Amino acid sequence: MAEELHTFKVLKPLGFDISQCQMLNSFVTTGKYALLGLASKIRNRDVNIAPSLVYAIESLPSVYIERDIENVTLEVDRGCNVQTEMIDASFEVYGVIDSGCVSNDQIMKGHLNITEGVGITQDAPTECSETLTGYKYQPIKDGILAQIYQQSVQSTKDLISRTGPLLISTLSEPWTGSNLNAIIIGWTDTDWIIWKQERILNWGENADYQYIEDTVPFTDSLQQELQFEVWFFYVPEQNKCVPISDTTLIECPCQTTDDPRTDKCQSPVDEPEQPCVPTKDTTLDECGCLEKDDPRADTLCKTEEKDSADSVRAALSSVVTFVLISAFVLFI
């Protein structure tokens, strides 16, 4: 497990200062960032996603309606100061996109490094910035991000089996350990197997984060069963995307055939078959005799030998036809 851990993009340091964007910093340090990536990968082993928070924020609408206060229309503050509930909803509605497609290292509204002349992100992009062949950037869609309270050992095991990894938000008292901001991925006979967040200093006082494997016992020092408050991100089976004319390339990559977005997705064109160019050593099977300028004109492609070769082919064709017809007659 430890070896496989190092291949998960979402558990590695981000490589830049996340403290400059309040929402990005909060989403990473609380563990939701890692939870979304792990849940997506565990559902589909071919997926290796480090979620793009920038895409989730910029995908939000400019306004929303608060139904419980007389349908008041309120503005969405898209950027580093957006409400946490908005981010949760965006990942559920618009899906989880890999930060390799839409980088998290961007300047959004509310970023502390905004300076004069530096552009900030606007609406969510419709095309992926990553252009490597075969790059998978179809969103993980229809996930459900939810919180469950007061989980016993058995109910926690049941929940992991049904939904995948669980993010610990609170441990019951009198637990005195320091394993918060950890994700439960399984269990042994006596312990939970977790991936625990570790703070690392990279440059100056700016912190980054990575995950290491650890365990948490089922019971505390008083032999009382630990109970959790946990977050989970349930990811349903993913269906292959089927684009229509206005489907963005992020929602669904170009299809190899029958893609209606002809302006962006050119169908592969079959290259015309090139005529063979024989050399003196080329056999007739590799390239038949040319009518003129054949380098084998003095050998294989002498006029009489060409006629002879054609006669042999015709004779073989007759033999094959006779054999097939004879075999067919046997079964009538």
Q: What is the pLDDT of residues 264-276, one digit of tens each?
A: 786 544 444 567 8
- Domain assignment present for residue 269? The answer is no
* Domain total of the chain: 2
Q: Are 79 and 95 in contact (CB under 8 A)?
A: no
Q: For the segment 146-195, what is each residue's pLDDT rounded down to a tens digit? A: 888 877 888 889 989 888 899 987 766 555 555 567 899 899 999 999 88
Cα–Cα nearest to 40, from 180, 142, 161:
142
Task: Check whether 51 has a pLDDT greater than 90.
Answer: yes
Query: How confident is the model at residue 187, as a pLDDT?
Result: 94
pLDDT score of 177: 57
Is 225 a domain residue?
Answer: yes
The predicted pLDDT at position 175 comes to 59
Check if the beta carbon of residue 139 is closer than 8 Å to that of residue 36.
no
Report the distance separating Cα 58 and Cα 54, nearest Å. 6
Taking only the tens place, the pLDDT of each residue in 285-330 is 778 888 788 888 888 887 654 444 444 344 434 434 333 333 333 3
Does the residue 42 lie in any domain?
yes
Distance CA 233, CA 236 (A): 10
Domain end residue (candidates: 234, 260, 276):
234
| Boundary of a domain, candidates 234, 252, 280 | 234
Mark whether 91 and 199 lie in a shared domain: yes
Position 36 pLDDT exceeds 90: yes
Answer yes or no: do 19 and 164 share one domain: yes
Distance CA 201, CA 278 (A): 66
The answer as to whether 261 is a domain residue is: no
Domain end point (choices 234, 250, 265): 234
Q: Is the pTM of this model over 0.85?
A: no
How far does the chain reach from its first CA to its final CA, in angstroms? 63
Identify whether residues 147 and 29 lie together within a single domain: yes
Task: Find the mean pLDDT for residues 244-252.
Answer: 85
Return the ∠ at Cα 164 (arms to 35 and 30), rounded to 5°. 20
Residue 259 has pLDDT above 60, yes or no: yes
Question: Does 295 fall in a domain?
Answer: yes
In a domain, 240, yes or no: no
The reported pLDDT for the residue numbered 48 is 84
Above 70 in pLDDT, residue 136? no
How confident is the model at residue 303, as a pLDDT? 66
Please, how many CA atoms are within 13 Å of residue 219, restricted to the half-sphere of its CB?
A: 7
Residue type, 322: F
Give whichever of 106-120, 166-180, 243-257 has the largest mean pLDDT. 243-257
* Residue 39, domain member (yes or no): yes
Predicted confidence at residue 91, as pLDDT, reads: 92
Shared domain for 227 and 297, answered yes or no, is no
DSSP labels, 28-68 = HHTTHHHHHHHHHHHH-TT----B-HHHHHHTS-SEEEETT
Same domain, 210 and 118: yes
The reply to whether 60 falls in a domain is: yes
Pair (9, 117) in one structural domain? yes
Domain housing 301: 291-332
| Same structural domain, 302 and 188 | no
Q: Which of 235, 228, 65 is nearest to 150 (CA)?
A: 228
